[in-house]
Structure 1
Amino acid sequence: MRSQLFKTRITDLLGIRHPILCGGLGPRVSDADYVAAVVNAGGMGFIVAAGFADPDEFHAQLKRCRQLTQGQPFGVNLYISRQSGGLARVAEQIRILIEEGVSCVETAGASPQPVVGALREAGIKILHKVPAVKYAHSAARLGVDSIIMVGNDCGGHPGLFGISSMVQAAHGPSVVDLPVVIGGGIGTGRQMAAVLAMGADGIIMGSRMMVAEELWIHESYKEKVVRGDGTESVVVKRAIGDHHRVLLNDSARAVLALDDAKITDFEQFRPHVMGALAHEAYLTGDTSVGMLDYGPAVVFADAVKSVEAIFDDMIDDAAIAIRRLNGLETRNNQSDAALHNAAS
């Protein structure tokens, strides 16, 4: 277990050792065992509330995570749906997480406006996920505590604009006066060091973590991720404006055909995008069907390892990157800096 290398606004906000967040990996994937492993390794993880529709099961997951973390703070992912009944479901989830003493939430989907008041009143920190700076400004005005910006490389939902993580990392922190976390295509410590150097306060990972030992998903799926080089990633559901970066499989090919035909009737997509297909794939290891979130950062997932081992590798890699950058600084610049400091 590595000691703290970076102190940022996000480590202070969340009370964590490393500026590493692990986002919700889909309904039922990010469960109590995985999130607890992330927290115990020094980061912050989020149980996906949408994966546990039964209130008793949701309560049980939160209780188990608190037990496994020995009372350390952990998070919950809340999806703000525009569909009928969506806000009522989130309100019930918020009631439960307040009862269980959850410290922070990762909100995604529609505007967090309907839930900000209740969460702030309960003292729960809000990290809102956006695919572009324009949405970050809106969320900041609502009173969220932090912004998560994901670039086009992220597995799952990268948004409509195709903005790279490199641009988000350089632009976002310069115009948003909140702790900023960057995600999308990130899986190494040197990327973390680069993101922090550009002004961000942390990183968030998804695809890179699909090989974590603590995840319950089938071992053959994890081995597929280890073998992957990122070229198996494709963006689907473009025709209906719900861009989704997934593993290229039979379901993805069927949806790509609908996209190419410019079909906008969701009922034609439904048989290929049902969540039950993805859950079955994770359960059985048969990855031929289902919308399986999958980004190019799988190229960094070189072996099945514990969350703690993954984090340790990243911290070591970040330290090497910092030493390399320091070694590239010219003596003239070092002398100028010394003279400036002396004059000050």
Structure 2
Amino acid sequence: MRPALFRTRITELLGIRHPILAGGMGPKVSDARYVAAVVNAGGMGFIVGAGYSDPVEFRAQLVQCRELTEGKPFGVNFYISRQEGGVDRVKRQIDIVIEEGVACVETAGASPEAVVPLLKQAGIKVLHKVPAVRYALSAAKLGVDGVIIVGNDCGGHPGIYGISSMVQAAHAAQVIDLPIVIGGGIGSGRQLAAVLAMGADAVLMGTRMLVSEELWIHRAAKELVVRGDGTESVVVKKAIRDHHRVFRNASAEAALALDDAKVTDFEQYRPHVMGALAHQAYVSGDTSTGMLDYGPAAVFADTVESAEAIFDRFIDDARAADDRLGSLRAAA
């Protein structure tokens, strides 16, 4: 493992070696084994709470992760649904998170206002993930410990505004006095160096980590990412204002057709966007169907390797970028 190269507000807040976060990648994709590998490589990972509706199974994941990390801090992702009962479902899992001593939580979706006090009272760090600086400003008022801002290139949900990560990084540092994490299209260490130069404190990676050896998904799904160059990603569900960047397969094509027809009835999208399809794709390796989160950072994922190897290459690249910047400084 590479020694620490940067010390930022995020590395200090979370007690991690490198300013690298691996975002929650969907229900049961980011499990205990994968998250532990990310943590042991010097970053921070998040078990996705939505994947474990059974409280016994959820607790078992937390216990396993703590054992695999030998007590190092790890995180949990809570997606707060805007549908009725969404907050209550998260609150039930918060009780388990508190009991099991989880260090930090990544919240996303609806406002975390109802859960931030519960987490903070228990001493758990809260990072709220949003797709635009305007939402981050609102989250900052709720007492969160930091914000994660994802740009238009992110695999998953980039929001409706289509603002790039590069703009968000520079803008957020101007207006938010909290630790800032930037995601969306991030897959190289030189991007980390650039983000830190712009005033942010860490990066968040998703697509780049799909080729991690410790991730349980089918090898064929990982090889798909290795072969890709990022142009295979497409944003669907725009007509219903639920923008979703995914791999362009048969399900994505069906959703695109509905978008083109300006269909706003979700029930017509449902057969193509059900989470069960994506899960089956990851189990079987048949990626022809399912909403598979996938962004242009796939261009950096050129081989299947361990999380530690990915991080080592990332830090080496960041060091080279930092050295290059120093070599470009004009003489006094």
Q: Considering the TM-score relative to the shorter chain, is it more than 0.5? A: yes
1:172 Cα deviation after fit: 0.5
Matches of 2:322 and 2:125 in 1, distance apart?
30
Post-superposition offset of 1:16: 0.2
- How far residue 105 of structure 1 moved from its aligned partner, in angstroms, is 0.3
Could you tell me which amino acid in structure 2 is paired with residue 172 of structure 1? A
Q: Which residue of 2 aligns with 1:77?
A: 77
Q: Where does residue 30 of structure 1 map in the other structure?
A: 30
Largest Rg, 1 or 2: 1
Distance in 2, Cα, partners of 1:240 & 1:17: 41
Using the alignment, how far apart are the partners of 1:112 and 1:49 within structure 2?
Answer: 15
How do 1:127-166 and structure 2 match up within 5 A? 127-166=127-166
1:261-299 CA-to-partner distances (Å, cap 9, x unmatched) read 111111111100100000000000000100000000000
TM-score by length of 1: 0.96
Counterpart residue number, 2:181? 181
> Per-residue displacement from partner, 1:286-327 (whole Å, max 9, x unpaired)?
001000000000000010000000000011111110111111
Name the SS for the 2:36 alignment partner.
helix
* Counterpart residue type for residue 141 of structure 2: R
Q: CA deviation at 1:81?
A: 0.7
- How far apart, in 2, do the equivalents of 1:87 and 1:182 lie? 26
Distance 1:216 1:222 in 2: 10
- The 3-state SS of whatever aligns with 2:155 is coil
Q: Secondary structure at the match of 2:223?
A: helix
Query: Which digits, 9 at most, give the CA deviation of each residue in 1:60-104, with x for residues without a partner?
Result: 000000000000100000001111111111011111111111010
In the TM superposition, what whole-angstrom CA distance separates every residue of 1:81-135 from its partner, at most 9, and x where no partner exists? 1111111110111111111110100000011101011011111100000111111
Distance 1:88 1:318 in 2: 41
Which residue of structure 1 lines up, in the alignment, with residue 39 of structure 2?
Answer: 39
Aligned partners of 1:76 and 1:173: how far apart in 2?
Answer: 25
Which residue of the partner structure matches residue 341 of structure 1? none
Aligned-residue sequence identity (percent) comes to 73
Partner of 1:312: 312
Structure-2 separation of matches of 1:174 and 1:14: 23
SS at match of 2:153: coil
Matches of 2:41 and 2:90, distance apart in 1: 29
Aligned twin of 2:224: 224
Structure 1 unaligned runs (5+)?
336-344
What SS does the corresponding residue of 2:200 show, helix, strand or coil? coil
Corresponding residue for 1:270? Answer: 270
Tell me the residue number matched to 2:239.
239
Distance in 2 separating the partners of 1:90 and 1:315: 35
Moved over 6 A (4+): none
Report the counterpart of residue 338 of structure 1 in structure 2. none
In structure 2, the residue matched to 1:194 is 194
In the alignment, structure 2 segments of 5+ residues that lack a partner are none
Per-residue CA distance 1:209-264 (angstroms, 9 max, x = gap): 00000000000110110000001000000011100000000000000011111111
Whole-Å separation in 1 of the counterparts to 2:97 and 2:262: 41
2:288 aligns with 288
Q: Supply the distance in 2 between the matched residues of 1:293 and 1:176 (Cα, whole angstroms).
A: 28
Residue 127 of structure 1 aligns to a residue whose secondary structure is: strand
Aligned residues: 332
- The aligned residue for residue 17 of structure 1 is 17
